[in-house]
Amino acid sequence: MNDLKELTKKERDCLISIGQHDSEKFPLRLIDLSESLNIRSPTALNLVKRLENKKLLTHMKGMILLTGKGKSFYHEIEENHRILETLMVEYGMDLGKACLLSENIDYLVDHRSIDNMFVKLGKPIKCPHGRIIEQFHD
């Protein structure tokens, strides 16, 4: 269980962008990160340094990789997002709106609340986008 509340929205977005990149083949480069976030390279570097100070990633020679803690944060945010999105769609919200709203709060909702939502939803296997929800919550 991570303390996602220690992240800002920009740091969350940066972590998600790095986590979604397939670093098995090639680590993400700073220039790629700045392009994916649609920000200037100095701003991306600032975000990288902040996340590096929080021990969520490593950065060397322009290459960026998530640490074990960073991967854990990334996966928890992704799962939170999928559960929140599923809840919102279940109660009648348009999928696009649910996705955008979830993106704004998925790193702020506490672990216990996410667990409760997951259980109340009947422990769904997939989110409305069809992505697997790999919850280890009970």
pLDDT digits (tens, 9 = 90+) for 83-134: 999 999 999 999 999 999 999 999 999 889 999 999 999 999 999 999 999 8
| Residues 30 and 48 sit within 8 Å (Cβ to Cβ) | yes
Same domain (yes/no): 31, 8 = yes
Same domain (yes/no): 21, 49 = yes
Same domain (yes/no): 81, 42 = no
Query: What integer best gives the mean pLDDT of the chain?
Result: 90
Owning domain of residue 50: 4-71
Q: Which residues lie below 8 Å from residue 12, measured CB to CB, with a gap of 6+?
A: 4, 77, 106, 107
Q: Which of 48, 31, 49, 29 is nearest to 40 (CA)?
A: 31
Same domain (yes/no): 25, 65 = yes
Last residue of a domain, one of 71, 99, 130: 71
Domain presence at residue 89:
yes
Q: What is the CA radius of gyration of the chain?
A: 15
Same domain (yes/no): 42, 100 = no
Higher pLDDT, 101 or 26: 101
Global pTM exceeds 0.75: yes
